[in-house]
Structure 1
């Protein structure tokens, strides 16, 4: 069978590597892919929201399954497009339809869903330019810091955490009245700040049954000790040491089951990943910070290496709603990944820097993220360039491997955090 993966980052390279292990797959295609996927699949250059181009690619290459990496094509309705097309409707898409993608595409919908179905989350209210004064009043009922979230997708930049009430009021006005994040912030969710330790739990579901994947924790800030600007993610670990069996049982009972049942009650036929961003509070209980409707990046780069099962067979189970029949096992190892980023990232950075040394890595997995091929050379093409993943019996052992591997890699301006996992070691 031929399979198409949509996306171009480390997550998609991780999918491609894992799927390439399956004996059931003849040929992998990745659109648009990167220099890493080019080694194990056929890259096809196209826009992820050009559904007609995706259709032509699928039909031309006899593709029988499409795996969607990022959220934008899901929110834009790529799955619905397939179901509405006579030539595509029988080709399964791994990823929810538009109604399910609202869990990530609309913060307001997501919070209403949690409240309706009893999923623990922070107290909140939503506001537009029509009730701005009510927004100011609600902010006055909260303790700082104040959390403001653009309702729609804002390329990961639509969440503000502010310590000053005056600054929060000003930013609320900028978001809803002056379109600070475009249409994404025409509605803004204000919620109370959750205190605790963050982690993520990932669920794969066919709409009826589910598998809970390994937990992970990522590190968003550019600077060591979690300082500086937010990024797409500077590294990750799996499993999360403090997320013991007792806590994960609470997550399943209080979060996962109500979420799956809620989707069924809303008549949302959800087939794909649910990324649950969690906060563990001082009492050891989970609260949901957010849902995402795809795997995280760089969390995918530590979750997939720990899964022993055939990922393609799991996806078949999602497509056919036979996921409960599929075997699922995870290795008892710790995985760590460290992201190599371009100098200047997450602000302005240079591209087209030649990368060397990664071909010699033996004790780690090199996942390409922002890379491209030119004249047989591998060049940087994004802010996050490579994720260096290692397995070990402990966080320390896995990280030592990753950092030893990083010592062999070079490109101009290369930057990375040297303290991934610092808070749980």
Structure 2
């Protein structure tokens, strides 16, 4: 089976790493990929917005399955493009069409979807720039802290939690009038703050059946102790100690099933991953957000814990045969620590030479994200540069591997959090 993965981050390297392990995998291509994916398959210089060029590549290389990593091509209608041309009738696609991708593409739509389908979530209202006065009045009487969310895609950075009303009003104006997140904040969702602990739950679905993947907890803020601005993710662990059997039963009953049945009831076909960003509030799950793809860096801890053949699972989903598929999960703990460029998530420099990759001890897996190769040297090319994933019988053992790998490599300005998993020690014993 020839496979094309679309994307260039750590998630896509993890997908390539896992798919390559399948005996069903023939030629594996990643577009555009990074320095790490080049060791798993063949990187192809394709723009993720150039659907025509991607389609031509699919035909010329007899691609059987396209796995879409990031959200933007899905929101822009990649699946719709493929389904609209009978030349691609035999090609499977993992990822929903535009009508499904709007679950992530519009926070306002997803909040309405949750309400219509009885999915537990924080109360909220949505405003546009012409409603700035009403929005400000709503903020002034809102309970604290105030959660502000850009409606559209903002690379995981479109959520602001304001501790007081003045800060909320300033951020609201900056988002709606100042266009801090561009078109993504043309609408802003003002949301109730949920006091709990976050986790991520993932399913793979063919629109009818679904398989629940290992849960994970990621760490969004740049600073230790969850301080500083949000990032795309600074680390993750799986499993999640507090996501016990009873809690996951509630997640399936109150969140997953109503979501899958809601998609069917609203006539939204869906094949691919659904990422449930959840808050555990006193043992009850609430949905913070939907994503229509795997998370990053959660993928780097979820996939190493899946014992099953991932490619077979993806093909079963693409063929509408997921009900008969079996997913097996390792009991081991996985952790990942993300190494980032100095200055991230603000302005940062690219092109820094990475040293020490050959000194990473055996055991941990290095998943590349913002890297490229030039003159046989691996250079930084993004904010999040790589993720170091450890696997062990305990969280401490897994984290030991992750940090040994992190300590082995270096480049000018390298930064990473030293406290991944620390907040879970009380749960894990």
**Which bin holds the TM-score, normalised by the shorter protein?**
over 0.9
Contact 1:6 1:31 in 2 (8 A): yes
Matches within 5 A, 1:214-293: 214-282=214-282, 284-293=283-292
Structure 1 residue 177: Cα displacement = 3.5
State the shift of 1:406 in Å.
2.2
C-alpha distance in 2 between matches for 1:388 and 1:203? 24
Question: How far does residue 140 in structure 1 lie from its aligned partner after superposition?
Answer: 3.4
Kept in 2, the 8 Å contact 1:30–1:44? The answer is: yes
Q: Which residue of 1 aligns with 2:318?
A: 319
TM-score (normalised: structure 2):
0.96
Residue 103 of structure 2 corresponds to which residue in structure 1? 103
Unaligned runs of at least 5 residues, structure 2: none
- The verdict on how the C-alpha distance between 1:35 and 1:199 changes in structure 2, with shifts beyond 3 A counting, is same
**SS of the residue 1:423 aligns to:** helix
Q: What corresponds to 2:374 in structure 1? A: 374
Q: What displacement does 1:384 show?
A: 1.0
Distance 1:131 1:348 in 2: 32
Aligned residue in 2 for 1:24: 24
1:90: which partner in 2? 90
Which residue does 2:173 correspond to in 1? Answer: 173
Structure-to-structure mapping, 1:36-47, within 5 angstroms: 36-47=36-47
Q: Which secondary structure state, in structure 2, belongs to the residue aligned with residue 407 of structure 1?
A: helix
* 1:155 shift after superposition: 2.5
Aligned to 1:121, what secondary structure does the other structure show? coil
Return the offset for 1:180.
Answer: 3.1
Equivalent residue, structure 1, for 2:334: 335
Which digits, 9 at most, give the CA deviation of each residue in 1:53-112, with x for residues without a partner?
A: 111111121111100000000000000000011212331110010000000000010000
How many angstroms apart in 1 are the aligned matches of 2:387 and 2:135? 41
Name the counterpart of 2:302.
303
Consecutive unaligned residues of structure 1, counting only runs of 5 or more, are none
SS of the aligned residue for 1:160 comes to strand
Distance in 1 separating the partners of 2:166 and 2:377? 51
Q: Is the Cα contact below 8 Å between 1:83 and 1:90 reproduced in 2? A: no
Q: CA deviation at 1:135?
A: 2.0
d(CA) in 2 for partners of 1:130 and 1:412? 45
Alignment match, 1:146:
146
Query: Over the residues paired in the alignment, what is the CA RMSD in angstroms?
Result: 1.3
Query: Secondary structure, in 3 states, of the residue corresponding to 1:103?
Result: helix
User: Aligned partners of 1:356, 1:177: CA distance in 2, in Å?
Assistant: 44
CA contact (8 A) 1:123 1:192 kept: yes
Q: Tell me the matched-pair count.
A: 424
Mapped contact 1:206–1:321 kept (Cα < 8 A): yes
Deviation of 1:356 after TM superposition, in Å, equals 2.3
Note the alpha carbon deviations across 1:227-259, whole angstroms, 9 max, x for none: 122211111000011111110110000000000
Rounded Cα–Cα distance in structure 2 between residues aligned with 1:245 and 1:358: 39
With the length of structure 1 as denominator, give the TM-score of the two structures.
Answer: 0.97
- Stretch deviating more after TM superposition (389-398 or 220-229): 220-229
Q: Does the residue aligned with 1:263 lie in a helix, a strand or coil?
A: helix
Alpha-carbon deviation of 1:133?
3.0
SS in 2 for 1:63: coil
User: Residues 179, 344 of structure 1: CA spacing in aligned structure 2 closer, same or farther, 3 A cutoff?
Assistant: closer
Instruction: Give 1:408 shift.
Output: 2.0
Contact 2:148 2:161 in 1 (8 A): yes
8 A Cα contact 2:157 2:231, kept in partner: no
